[in-house]
A and B are shown apart, each in its own frame.
Chain A
């Protein structure tokens, strides 16, 4: 099984990297882009000994305790039980 974890800055936190990317994108000539926010993406492989529910709970814990900092970041976990670990 594979889980995907998306870690993003809270809306209240400024993202100077996203801003720099946004400026670059505008500078290149792309139109209609109003904002860019940079985040992190993790792929977590889980072995078959865990049920999908257990795997989700485990990855949620990892996302909360390790992969994100609750002061500045939010996270979202997606579980893909169709993939082999």
Chain B
């Protein structure tokens, strides 16, 4: 079982993510430079947060043309597990691995605070350790996290149970006040049709140890480790 954390010029959560994988959940992990175009050594790839290529043009717009993204597409099409956090989510949308786009926050401000997200389904490799309806306290830190897609896509996401996390209050109620950025349907994270690619705006890696005031986020990484262990057993 091996994790890879992609490093783009401008990534800034790569070390946090690496730390959580190696020290908190105790799994092998490598940094993967964005020029690398072979991911055959890896079982799960994480696109970390940050500002890849300075967010020039649009968030994720330049990063999607990196050599590593061609490899990530191949990796995902073969069923490989891909997790995009914050800027990583934006890159996955730009690359067409997830539908929709992340627009400027509705209040035009960069929002950096702890929020609650509600787990909408445990039927993904990323949430299998969670309970449906469970709330996780995790931080967000973004200026462009306002999830948007057309109505047809939203219908699909709902019908196929692909909305994985929604912004909620601490009791798990979805309210306009609990939506920090204007996201459509309070969407905080979605997955692809095959359920092996997930993107979310909040930072679970920044809430994976008690000393950081919340360790709720680590359940996502533990779920991933469980999934990879099962896959290893099966093969």
**Chain A residues within CB distance 8 Å of chain B:** 12-14, 16-17, 20, 66-67, 69, 71-72
Contacts and interface: CB of A to CB of B under 8 A. Distances in A.
B104 A17 contact: yes
A71 to B, nearest CB: 4
A82 B101 CA distance: 37
A16 B148 contact: no
B61 A20 contact: no
B100 interface: yes
A66 B63 CA distance: 11
Nearest to B59: A69
A27 B207 CA distance: 42
- Interface SS of chain B: loop
B148 A13 contact: yes
- Interface SS of chain A: loop
B106 A14 contact: yes
Contacts of A12: 150
A17 B108 CA distance: 7
Nearest to B64: A66
B57 A71 contact: no
Contact of A67 (B57, B65, B100, B107): B57
Interface string B72-115: 00000000000000000000011000011101111110000000
17 contacts: A13-B103, A16-B104, A16-B105, A16-B106, A16-B107, A16-B182, A17-B108, A67-B57, A69-B58, A69-B61, A69-B94, A69-B101, A71-B93, A71-B100, A71-B101, A71-B148, A72-B148
B149 interface: yes
Contacts of B94: 69
Contacts of B58: 69
Interface in B126-141: none
